[in-house]
Amino acid sequence: MPALVAGSLWTLALATAITLCPRGWRSADLTNRLLSLWSQGWLFATGANVVIEGAQHLHGIGACVVVSNHQSNLDPIVLTSTFGGRIRILTKRELFRVPLLGSALRTMGMVEVNRDSPDRATIAAGAAHALDQGLPLLVFPEGTTSRTGDLLPFKPGAFQIAIRHGVPIIPVLVTDSREVWPAKRLKVKAATVRVVVTAPLATEGLAESRVVDLSAMVRGRLENAWRVRSEGQHPRGIAT
């Protein structure tokens, strides 16, 4: 519990800083630095040690859609750290309703989504804003945290965005974040979290009718990475 309080206070401090920052000082670079600080603060507070496999796929990364499994509230923090703060996130509407935090999320360019009734125009505009800046957009296609750690059914939004913008998809597997911060729990413990970054999948030229195929391909990539990680082997799709 103290770790979550510390992390929440850290979030409040940085949310205040970005909200009060004069408009003329705001920039994507400043936002990236604050997001990196935010994620590092949370990892320190929770005692999470992040180990990245496939880090070569992060070099020179530009506009893309990052698709990840979701098993803990720690996942967006871990992935923000993995991408050095250079990432924007499709974020549930409930967080935008929190005083000060909501304002900070909008200022930083996070993309608001109503999970019960998604506003496609709002999502499209937010996604375009991030991708047009050459930034990765993080989407959790399951739409919620998995309490068991198993992959839940994927929603099509991430794949539609990638195809419409012709940007690659980077499937990323996060494991053991549930060991640090289980879903729907207020207790954390120190542990190692592993992030498996797989090779990008091109979408340029794909028709939207291929959304289901693309979703299945990404799911297969994550399932393979999970299976191989469990067996202690080297996941296919990750250059050696």
Mean pLDDT of 182-189: 86
pLDDT of residue 238: 45
Predicted model pTM: 0.92
Which H/E stretch holds residue 34? helix 28-46
Q: Kindly state whether residue 236 falls inside one of the protein's structural domains.
A: no
Q: Kindly state whether residue 239 falls inside one of the protein's structural domains.
A: no
Q: Taking 70 as the threshold, does the pLDDT of residue 17 lie above it? A: yes
Separation CA 124–CA 111 (nearest Å)? 9
Beta bridge partners of 175: 194
3-state helix, strand, coil in the chain (%, to 5): 50, 15, 35
Q: Kindly state whether residue 70 falls inside one of the protein's structural domains.
A: yes
Q: Kindly state whether residue 237 falls inside one of the protein's structural domains.
A: no
Q: Taking 60 as the threshold, does the pLDDT of residue 222 lie above it? A: yes
CATH number for the domain that contains residue 96: 3.40.1130.10
Count of the separate structural domains present in the chain: 1
Mean pLDDT of 167-176: 97
pLDDT of residue 195: 98
Residue 145 domain boundaries: 2-231
Confidence of residue 134 (pLDDT cuts 50, 70, 90): very high
